[in-house]
Amino acid sequence: MTFNDTLMNLSKDKESKLCIGLDIDSDRMPNTMDKSLLGLQRYIEDIIDSTSNICLAYKLNMAFYERYGSKGYALMEKIVEYIDNRNLTIADGKRGDIGNTTKKYALSIFESIGFNSITVSPYMGSDSIIPFIQDKSKGVFVLCLTSNTSAKDIQFKKADNKTIYQNIAELCSELNNNNNIGLVVGATNPEFMKNIRDLNNLPWLIPGIGAQGGDLEQSVQISNQNSIGLINVSRAIIFAGDCNLNDVQNAAISFNNQINLMVDNEK
Amino acid sequence: MTFNDTLMNLSKDKESKLCIGLDIDSDRMPNTMDKSLLGLQRYIEDIIDSTSNICLAYKLNMAFYERYGSKGYALMEKIVEYIDNRNLTIADGKRGDIGNTTKKYALSIFESIGFNSITVSPYMGSDSIIPFIQDKSKGVFVLCLTSNTSAKDIQFKKADNKTIYQNIAELCSELNNNNNIGLVVGATNPEFMKNIRDLNNLPWLIPGIGAQGGDLEQSVQISNQNSIGLINVSRAIIFAGDCNLNDVQNAAISFNNQINLMVDNEK
């Protein structure tokens, strides 16, 4: 089974297109909570137990773990092991190297830690992507269009009448022989999102919803036309209310229901 | 003292522009050697003791450590600690995220591990660079022009009569208020290298020399015009001969002498 097929099937089974970003950050937790690494681990494990039936996937932003050095890296390994394939897992590391180096990253992410998929930065071109897509059961989400202001520095540049982000979307179509490539598309201008959705029906991973304020409805509707748009929400779920698990669970249910309703409305 | 000033001064003191890539890879070592993580650690430490007086900097390609999971990450921490600022250190992680995430990477690389500098992928634009350059003593090498075939997928695209790699070189000039930005420029076509050197005098980090076959002489001469070009050699030094320390040291001395001679010939 290819990664993109697994993504579609699991989304139907779980009735979810929600990805929860497990971007642990002790600064956002009340001081009454245990902020040791063991305390953070237990909090994340509790979040997983409270939400794994609700969401489709978990995304771990690697920076939030590497910030604690090798002990944080070990925490990331424990979290992926704890999820234990109840949900899909995304290593949000935006790795972007070539050849032998990228092969080592693939070993690191897919085998050593055991993630199902990774985010990749394409500045070095297809050489950065190809070593990650050899195993069709493992997925790659390639940075295409991001919602930050300085996306204009590269992504919006126009060469041969096409923006760089359109070039990347097309490159990913060409490379998708194993049906395991998706795109990272920020919740940005609907016109730009439509430009990309018109080019192919690769799955999208959409960050920037919730605390970051992206437009949920437009992103859900455009991304899910003839494909799947995975909506990532981090802070607005894992630090919901005062970080008690009822608040976290209710936030996950609420986002999931909103997303499903928007998809239904579009049909 | 800014990172770029430190780089220039230390290069003069050590009479070196050589960077040794500590990309440990047990597959390239004779089977008679101890290939456990402790064995690798001791081999790298011996290489450092044999070459720290010869080279200017060490570059650790993070993939070659992350490949071993959290234990490999811990090995990387030990190696940086072992170098103990005898030489400059470069975290070759090509990280490329934005805002709060990039701040966490800066904490991870500069404070938790203690590297002096990092390589960055600029697909998301200046937002990926700015959080890394706040501390003027820490340096950033931004991917500009790489020597792999698929560099054409983005870097050679021409927008407004300028290639993307020229755009990135100019963006880095604009951002260099703290004098701590450099560029990653592959040992590629001399004409392209000259295009970049003409735009500014930022330091360059040049990978792809030695085992990867880049043209040493052209790279050295163009990069060192009115600035400094740091020449990285990995496999051709750390796996020289049959991996005995004499061979390693002699390879480092030979590369360093060649580089210095080429700079002198240019003057």
pLDDT in tens, B190-244: 999 999 999 999 999 999 776 555 688 889 999 999 999 999 999 999 999 999 9
Give the pLDDT score at B189: 87
Residue to test with chain A: of B141, B154, B161, most A Cβ within 10 A: B154
Å from B79 to nearest chain A CA? Answer: 13
How many Å lie between the alpha carbon of A75 and the closest alpha carbon of chain B?
A: 9
Statement: residue A211 has pLDDT above 70? no
Three-state secondary structure of B37-89: HHHHHHHHHHHHHHHCCCCCEEEEECHHHHCCHHHHHHHHHHHHHHHCCCCEE
Instruction: Please report the residues numbered 141 through 170 in chain A whose beta carbons come closer than 8 angstroms to any beta carbon of chain B.
Output: 143, 146, 148-155, 157-160, 164, 167-168
Interface with A, mutate which of B22, B24, B123, B146 (most A CBs under 10 A):
B123
Q: Give the torsion sign (CA, A245, A246, A251, A257).
A: positive
Written as six digits, the tokens of A181 are 């490539």
ipTM at complex level: 0.96
- Does A64 sit within 8 Å of B125, measured CB to CB? no
Secondary structure of chain A in the HEC alphabet? CCHHHHHHHHHHHHCCCEEEECCCCHHHCCCCCCCCHHHHHHHHHHHHHHHCCCCCEEEEECHHHHCCHHHHHHHHHHHHHHHCCCCEEEEEEEECCCHHHHHHHHHHHHHHHCCCEEEECCCCHHHHCHHHHCCCCCEEEEEEECCCHHHHHCCCCEECCEEHHHHHHHHHHHHHHHCCEEEEECCCCHHHHHHHHHHCCCCEEEEEEHHHCCCHHHHHHHHCCCCCEEEEECHHHHCCCCCCHHHHHHHHHHHHHHHHHHHHHHC
Which of A35, A78, A94, A136 is an active site residue? A94
Mutate to test the interface with A, among B153, B164, B173, B234 (most CBs of A within 10 A): B153
Contact A105 B63 (CB under 8 A): yes
Residue ranges of B 187-246 with Cβ closer than 8 A to chain A: none
Q: B131 vs chain A: nearest CA distance in angstroms?
A: 13
Count of beta carbons in the 10 Å neighbourhood of residue B149: 12
pLDDT at residue B1, rounded to an integer:
96
Q: Average pLDDT in the A161-178 region?
A: 97
- With 60 as the cut, is the pLDDT of residue B44 above it? yes
Mean pLDDT of A221-229: 95
**pLDDT > 80? residue A231:** yes
Q: B128 to chain A: which residues are within 8 Å by CB? A: 150
User: Is the per-residue pLDDT at A105 higher than 80?
Assistant: yes
pLDDT, tens digit, for every residue of B100-139?
999 999 999 999 999 999 999 999 999 999 999 999 999 9
Sketch out chain B's domains with CATH numbers.
3-266 (3.20.20.70)
Give percent above pLDDT 70 in chain A: 98
Half-sphere exposure of A187 (CA within 13 A, CB side): 21
Q: What average pLDDT does range A234-241 have in this prediction? A: 95
A61 contact B CB<8A = yes
How far apart, in Å, are the Cα atoms of A237 and each of A48, A72, A245, A255, B5? 11, 21, 10, 9, 45
Least Cα distance to A165 among A188, A189, A196, A194 occurs for A196
Looking at the predicted structure, is the pLDDT value of residue A58 above 70? yes
The CA distances from residue B89 to B56, B109, B148, in Å, are 9, 11, 24
The pLDDT score that the predictor gives to residue B254 is: 96
Give the minimum alpha-carbon distance from B155 to chain A in angstroms, rounded to a whole number.
7
Reported confidence tier of residue A213, pLDDT bands at 50, 70, 90: low
How far is residue B170's CA from residue B148's CA, in Å, rounded to a whole number? 22
pLDDT interval class at A208 (50, 70, 90)? confident
pLDDT of residue B208: 73
- pLDDT confidence tier of residue A209, bands split at 50, 70 and 90: confident
The reply to whether residue A127 touches residue B149, judged by beta carbons under 8 angstroms, is: yes
Write down the pLDDT at residue B192. Answer: 94
Does pTM surpass 0.90?
yes
Q: What pLDDT does residue A133 have? A: 98
Q: What is the mean pLDDT of residues A106-122?
A: 97
pLDDT level of residue A216 (50, 70, 90 thresholds): confident
Active site residues of B: 94
Q: Which helix (H) or strand (E) holds B5?
A: helix B3-14
d(CA A229, CA A225): 9
Q: What is the pLDDT of residue A103?
A: 95
pLDDT > 90: percent of chain A? 90
Q: B168 pLDDT exceeds 80?
A: yes
Model pLDDT, residue B95: 96
**What Cα–Cα distance (Å) separates residue B156 from each residue in B19, B164, B187, B222?**
27, 6, 15, 20
| pLDDT given at position B213 | 58
Q: Which residues of A touch B121 (CB under 8 A)?
A: 94, 96, 121, 123-124
- Distance, CA of A126 to CA of B197 (rounded, Å): 26
